[in-house]
Amino acid sequence: MQLIFSLIQQMSVFMVIAYLFTKSPAFKPLTGESISRQQKIILYFVFTAFSIMGTYFGMPVSDAIANTRAIGAVLAGLIGGPVLGGAVGFTAGLHRYSLGGFTAFSCSISTTVEGLIGGLFHLYLMRQSGVRDLFNPRIALLATFIAESLQMMIILLLAKPYSEAWSLVKVIAVPMTLANSIGAALFISIMRDQKRMVDNVGAIFSAKALKVAEKTLGILDHGFNSETASRLVDIIQKETGVGAVSITDCEKVLAFSGIGADHHAGKPLTSNYALQAISQRKVFYADGVHEPFKCPHSSTCPLGSALVVPLIADKDVLGTIILFEPKTKLFLKNNRSLGEGLASLLSEQLLRSRFEDQKSMLTRSELKLVQAQVNPHFLFNTLNTVIAIIEQDALRAKDLLFHLSNFFRKNLKRENDLATLAEEMDHVNSYLTIERARFEDRLVVETDIDPQLLEVQMPTFTLQPIIENAIKHGIANMFGPGIILVRAEREEDLIRITIEDNAGTYCRKLEGGGLGMNLVDKRIKNLYGDQFGVSAHCVEGEKTQISITLPEGGRK
Amino acid sequence: MIRTLIIDDEPNARRELEKLLNKTGRFNIVGQCGNAVEGVKAINKERPDVIFLDIQMPVIGGFEMLSMIDREIMPQVVFVTAYDEFAIRAFEEKTLDYLLKPVRLERLEMTLEKLQQQIQTEVHPEYETERLTRIPCVKGGNIKLIAPEAVEYAFTDQSGAHLMVDGEVFNTDLTLKALEERSELIRCHRKCLVNIHKVDQIIPGESGTADIKTVSGFTVPVSRRHLKDLKRLVGI
User: What pLDDT digit, counting tens, does each position of A43-56 carry?
Assistant: 888 889 888 888 88
CATH code for residues B138-233: 2.40.50.1020
Residue B151 three-state SS = coil
In chain B, which among 14-53 make CB contacts under 8 A with chain A? 15-16, 19, 34-35, 37
* Interatomic CA distance for residues A420 and B76, integer angstroms: 53
Give φ, ψ of A380 to 5 degrees: -60, -50
* Tens digit of each residue's pLDDT (9 = 90 or more) over B200-214: 999 998 888 999 999
pLDDT band per the 50, 70, 90 thresholds, residue A519: confident
- Least Cα separation, residue B160 to chain A (angstroms): 22
| A165-170: long-range contacts, CB 8 A cutoff, minimum separation 24 | A165/A102, A165/A103, A165/A106, A167/A62, A168/A61, A168/A62, A168/A64, A168/A103
Given an 8 Å threshold on Cβ–Cβ distance, is B12 in contact with A438? yes
pLDDT at A276 over 90: no
pLDDT value, residue A477: 87
pLDDT at B92 over 70: no
Contacts with A502 from chain B: Cβ below 8 Å: none
Partner-chain residue, chosen from B16, B34, B59, that has the shortest CB–CB distance to A388: B16
Given an 8 Å threshold on Cβ–Cβ distance, is A437 in contact with B101? no
Given an 8 Å threshold on Cβ–Cβ distance, is B58 in contact with A392? no
Given an 8 Å threshold on Cβ–Cβ distance, is A476 in contact with B35? no
Given an 8 Å threshold on Cβ–Cβ distance, is A478 in contact with B58? yes
* Interatomic CA distance for residues B78 and A216, integer angstroms: 71
The residue among A51, A173, A74, A166 whose CA lies nearest residue A121 is: A74
* Tens digit of each residue's pLDDT (9 = 90 or more) over B158-190: 999 999 999 999 999 999 999 999 999 999 999
Q: For chain B, which residues make up each domain, given as ranges?
A: 2-120, 138-233
pTM over 0.90: no
Contacts with B58 from chain A: Cβ below 8 Å: 476-479
Give the residue with greater pLDDT, A416 vs B123. Answer: B123
CATH code for residues B2-120: 3.40.50.2300
Given an 8 Å threshold on Cβ–Cβ distance, is B11 in contact with A377? no
pLDDT at A556 over 50: no
CB B113 within 8 A of CB B78: no
Given an 8 Å threshold on Cβ–Cβ distance, is B82 in contact with A381? yes
Given an 8 Å threshold on Cβ–Cβ distance, is B11 in contact with A440? yes
Instruction: Sort strands B97-100 and B76-81 into parallel, antiparallel or unpaired.
Output: parallel
Partner-chain residue, chosen from B12, B58, B143, that has the shortest CB–CB distance to A389: B12
User: Cβ of B82 under 8 Å from any chain A Cβ?
Assistant: yes
Residue B54 pairs in a beta bridge with B80
Q: What is the largest CA-CA distance in chain B?
A: 64
Q: Name the percent of chain B lying above pLDDT 70.
A: 94
Contacts with B10 from chain A: Cβ below 8 Å: 385, 388, 438-440
Given an 8 Å threshold on Cβ–Cβ distance, is A388 in contact with B35? no
- Least Cα separation, residue A473 to chain B (angstroms): 10
Contacts with A436 from chain B: Cβ below 8 Å: none
